[in-house]
Amino acid sequence: QVQLVESGGGLAQPGESLTLSCVASGNIFRIATMSWYRQSPGRERELVATITDDHKRNYTGSVKGRFTISRDDTKNTMSLRMNKIKPEDTAVYYCTADVFEIVSGSIRYYPSPFWGKGTAVIVSS
Specify the pLDDT at position 1. 87
Specify the pLDDT at position 111. 84
Specify the pLDDT at position 83. 98
Burial class from Cβ neighbours inside 10 Å (0-12, 13-18, 19+) for residue 42 reads exposed
Give yes or no for residue 119 having a pLDDT over 90. Answer: yes
Give the whole-angstrom CA distance, residue 86 versus residue 15. Answer: 6
- Summarised one tens digit per residue, pLDDT across range 31-74 is 999 999 999 989 999 999 999 999 999 999 999 999 999 999 99
Give yes or no for residue 7 having a pLDDT over 90. Answer: yes
Indicate the average pLDDT of the chain: 96
pLDDT interval class at 97 (50, 70, 90): very high
In the chain, the amino acid numbered 109 is Y
Give the whole-angstrom CA distance, residue 13 versus residue 89. Answer: 11
